[in-house]
Structure 1
Amino acid sequence: MHDHIAQKLIQMAAHDLQVRERLAKANKLEGGYAPEMEQVHRKNAMQLHEIIAKIGFPTISKVGIDAYTAAWLIVQHAIAEPDFMVRSYALMRRHIQDVSPAHLAYLYDRIQFFRGKPQRFGTQRNSDGTVYPVRNKRQLNAWRRKSLLPELSTAEINAILPVSELVRIHDQDSTYVKWRKDVGWS
């Protein structure tokens, strides 16, 4: 067990959530990626990258469930680092017995979301709260069960926009389109 690394991961994730809460209370998370939040996410991604270079992906058996969950949160929030997110997903898949299947589902969907592609598990939502388009509505709850996620209601599934709406969803905000391109998502 890598106790020192585990504590560092937990502290990094806690700092991320503290900054997020402070910015949310000040209404600074609306209207794009808040620069302070992006800075925290990039710094955490860099530090996690260094940890991965030392011990590999910090799985449950290496750092414990809390620190592993912190590492997953850091990857989830590293949206300005697409290559890092994709590499981390691949590392987690290599250790599929030592990571949470729900976390894999969330990370897969998040990557698909920022790529502007349909998700599989229905974990990501649009700004209006509806589920972001999925690859296959009929198989959605089966995939969710397999990943230990709760099923979505029929109403939630029926409200999911078709995949044909992806371009409209992603192209409606020119600032977002530019940001996605600048960081390497498109």
Structure 2
Amino acid sequence: MSSKSLLMLAAVLVLLPVSLSAQQISKAPAAASESSWQAAIKARREQLIQQNGPGTDVALRNQLLAMRDKDQAIRGFAGGKQVSGMTPDMIAKMPATDAELTQELKQIVDQKGWPTISLVGIDASNGAMLVLTHSADHAWQAKLLPQLEQLADAGRIDASQLALVIDKELIAEGKLQRYGTQFKFVNGEMAMYGVEDPGDLDRIRARALLPPIDVYKQTLSQIYHLKASNAIVSPTSPTAKEN
């Protein structure tokens, strides 16, 4: 990655938390052989598929999968794997792409409710959650969270995908995150936003079928070509941002 690209990437990371989806983590180069957390994610995925089926709305499934692919393409991913670095053009277009996908997802939710696994299948349902994770509309995220947590508790959506949305919303509200998924670019490195229970973080992540934090940091470093440090960043309250 060129120095110009790094500078533009830095500008993006200052404004936006850095995080990875469960799909990106499970297929990242860091995971050369299947570990216990990967096996748990695979088993949970199969359980959700058996419980909910492949989905009944084929047209909506295809629409959401196309939206997921567009979300990932602007970030240099295809099929859950990194296929290109972050170019200045991609970085410049990302906010508009996220806004466009947010609007499209809002229309879907208004017309058909949240895309559950039983409605569109697990991949498309997770694609909807990925779009929500990258949305800049924090008020809409916050409004949806109670419903999404109920769906996750009932096994109607993938809870591991929801963890990223929960953390992003907590950070937006100036609160400590729960699962340690959100990082920020600081002094040439990526630093994790503070978490509610740092001493028990790996167990909390395991309950959400997320990998240990060290694995997550390693994969972040490989994808963004920046060190994930041990520094902790305090979230900034909305009031402080305004002043």
TM-score by length of 2: 0.59
DSSP 3-state at the match of 1:126: strand
Instruction: Count residues in correspondence.
Output: 163
Question: What residue number does 1:133 align with?
Answer: 194
Q: Does residue 38 of structure 1 match 2:99?
A: no
1:129 maps to a residue whose letter is M
Separation in 2, partners of 1:56, 1:28: 31
Q: Does residue 64 of structure 1 match 2:121?
A: yes
Q: 1:16 aligns with which of 65, 68, 71?
A: 71
1:26 maps to a residue whose letter is P
Query: CA shift at 1:63, angstroms?
Result: 0.3
Question: What residue number does 2:170 align with?
Answer: 112
DSSP 3-state at the match of 1:123: coil
Query: CA shift at 1:42, angstroms?
Result: 1.4
Separation in 2, partners of 1:159, 1:16: 29
1:17 maps to a residue whose letter is Q
Q: Which runs of 5+ in 1 are unaligned?
A: 172-176
Q: Which runs of 5+ in 2 are unaligned?
A: 1-55, 77-83, 218-228
- Higher strand proportion (structure 1 or 2): 2
Contact preservation (8 Å) 1:134, 1:160: no
Q: Residue deviations 1:25-72, cap 9 Å, x none?
A: 23653xxxx3x3222211211111111122210011110011111101
DSSP 3-state at the match of 1:131: strand
Q: 2:208 aligns with which of 109, 124, 147?
A: 147
Question: What residue number does 1:90 align with?
Answer: 146
Alpha-carbon RMSD across the aligned residues, in angstroms, is: 2.9
Question: What residue number does 1:55 align with?
Answer: 112
Contact preservation (8 Å) 1:121, 1:140: yes
Separation in 2, partners of 1:150, 1:16: 23
Higher RCO structure, 1 or 2 (CA under 8 Å, sep 6+):
2
Separation in 1, partners of 2:89, 2:113: 37
Percent identical residues: 24
Where does structure 1 differ by over 4 angstroms across 4 or more consecutive aligned residues? none
Separation in 2, partners of 1:7, 1:121: 30
Contact preservation (8 Å) 2:122, 2:158: no
Separation in 2, partners of 1:167, 1:45: 24
Q: Does residue 161 of structure 1 match 2:198?
A: no
Q: Residue deviations 1:88-139, cap 9 Å, x none?
A: 3222112111111211211101111222321011111121223221112112
Q: Alpha carbons of 1:144 and 1:160: their partners in 2 closer, same or farther (altered >3 Å)?
A: farther
Separation in 2, partners of 1:145, 1:91: 22
Separation in 1, partners of 2:232, 2:94: 29
Q: Alpha carbons of 1:26 and 1:166: their partners in 2 closer, same or farther (altered >3 Å)?
A: closer
